[in-house]
Structure 1
Amino acid sequence: MTDEPEPRGESGGPDEYPTGDEVPDDALSPEDITLFDTDTNEVDDVNDFATAEWTESTTADERVRIVVKRTVSPTPVREIAETAAVSETKARNTLKSLVEEGVARVEQTDSGAAYQRDPDRYLIEQIHALSLTEGLVDRIQAAKAEVAEYREQYDTESPEELLVSDRSLTDEELTDVSHWRTTVRDLEYLRAAYRIRQAKENTASSETRTRGSDSSHASAQ
């Protein structure tokens, strides 16, 4: 054994511990413990840094488009401009262009024009994106099976019929109704996505056959 102190372990504990004279006589209470202080200036700095990075990596038009595509209710130009880190004038001009493009929808309110994403355009884009995903048929089958289970469990064709029936529903059953409705909606979206995929495949096959026929006809001449 040596008189050299043992190295500090991986736990990162202190090299020296308080002596008996340094330990307080009375036990600490929760009131004696000071929690970590939050430096609000540091939080502001982080937010400013994130905004600066966003503005450097995107254009003003791109930021307004991103913000409005996430806006689900009529929102004043001022709020959209603030979120997108652009001037109100720039936001207003870009929003007008997005309305013409069909991406945004405008509504006149007492305080002026308010904008939100166009729900029809957004739904079409979501269904199109869904048509490109893997396992689409499996998801359709799973949703169909879940709907069938609800129908068998409650002996009715739809969640709406269950709600208007004379049956008193528990909280758990009301939760089932909510999930049932969501599954029915998802199934409609999945089927729409599948029809889009089928249409694309049929169109591609038709174009391939047409090109093949034209090539054969040209070779025969």
Structure 2
Amino acid sequence: MTQDEVDVDAVIRARIRGLRQAKGWSLDALAARCHLSPSTLSRIETGSRRISIDQLVPIARALDTTLDQLVEPVEDTDVVIRPQHDRVHGATTWLLSRDEGPHGLTVAKMRITRRTRPKQLRVHPGHDWFTVLSGTVRLYLGERVILVRAGQAAQFSTMAPHAIVAHDGPAECLTILDHEGQRVHLNAVDLTPEESSPPR
């Protein structure tokens, strides 16, 4: 067995024990649910017995998880969410979904500092949705100007010319973007500090 296999083996054992304890189950309780003897399960958790696939499947099912989740590798790079600064559009974004979710949706937190209406409003296929966590944002939607305050949410067709800016100070939003929205809103980023513009 290679060192990598040993490390993965240890992670799997720790996950089984952690999930069992999180449910408040004893070894006997889990063993009864996955049709293994308590002694076999104990040896699996402690590392004194090799783990086989035919044992992992019923264990995963009993713990309300999947085999894939039980054996997926752990990468340190997945832990830290690094902000993306977009100085041009006055926003800092934290991508909260590692991969595109169902139907190609991406979840992101945005801190908006720009307070002036952009010269050109954006248009693209799809829909945008956001909720304001703090502050107030000014949503330009065609000819309309809509204030969306903390605790409120907005959803709109992005075929209407649109832009989102801070109203009277920095604002933070949680947003869900489809694939086209992600491409349009999150693709122009740099790592230089952003500067807030004076209100218009």
More strand by share: 2
Give the TM-score of the pair, scaled to structure 2.
0.22
Give the TM-score of the pair, scaled to structure 1.
0.20
More helix by share: 1
Larger Rg: 1
